[in-house]
Amino acid sequence: MTHPVLLRLSLLSLVLISPGFGALANASAPPAAPPEAAKAAEGQKQADAEKQAQADGEKKKQAEAEKQKKADTEKQRQTIADIRNLGTALFSWLTDQVEATVEEQEAENATKGEPPVRGNGDDTRNKTFDIQDNPLVSREDLEEFLVPNYIAAIPETDPWGNPYEVRINTDNLMAKTVMSIRSPGRKGYFAGDVYKMGGFDPTDFDQDIVWTDGFFVRWPSEDHPVHKPLPIPPSGRQ
């Protein structure tokens, strides 16, 4: 008889104690957040992620711009070096040609009692320069004039891939202006044909670089003020 009583008492104890265990389990669980608060937290998390992505994008864009600027700066320097080297070769060739021409004129005029004819002494560095005063010269003729006595090879294009333009007044090597070399810069087309001597902002890689008769007419200069307007591209070209 004792065992059935004990069994009933044990079962009753379990019934009475079980709700307490459930209450304790529920008390240990964290309270559920209201739907509005959860939605706001999720929205803030998304906004923070978008803000970080935008900041990362701006940082990447700045890094790419800085990388491009360094590349264009190096290309500009190489263009200056190419033009200077080719110009030095041209000037040496011109000096030899003029000396030979002067000797011929002196020999010819000596029999007539006349002085040799020379170009005027105007300082073209203080004036505007029309690039079309001198005719274009082909690469084949240029190589014939200069290679290999004055230069090993003629640079065909600038580092941006644009052909160098060379002009020489072979009909009158004693003229006021005789020769020129120019590059259109990064943009790939010339801003015009008339130039006034002066430097330009070295970070403006779209400017023409121009050399004539022994000196640069247009060149990058740290002393030049910035924010100069860019040339308008010819119709049909971008």
Between residues 47 and 80, the one the model is more confident about:
80
Question: Band of the pLDDT at 55, cuts 50, 70, 90?
Answer: confident
Q: What is the mean pLDDT of residues 74-99?
A: 96
Distance CA 195, CA 217 (A): 7
Q: What is the mean pLDDT of the chain?
A: 80
Q: What is the pLDDT of residues 204-238, one digit of tens each?
A: 999 999 999 999 999 999 886 544 444 444 544 44
- Specify the DSSP element, H or E, that contains 221: none
Q: What is the pLDDT of residues 121-141, one digit of tens each?
A: 455 455 789 999 999 999 999
Cβ(199)–Cβ(166) under 8 Å? no
Q: What is the pLDDT of residues 183-207, one digit of tens each?
A: 999 999 999 999 999 999 999 999 9
Map residue 218 onto helix, strand or coil.
Answer: strand
Distance CA 49, CA 55 (A): 10
Write down the residue that tokens 């005719």 correspond to: 135
Map residue 107 onto helix, strand or coil.
Answer: helix
pTM > 0.95: yes or no: no
pLDDT > 90: percent of the chain:
52
Which of 3-7, 114-118, 120-124, 188-192 holds the top average pLDDT? 188-192
Per-domain residue ranges for the chain? 61-220
Write down the residue that tokens 């052909």 correspond to: 163
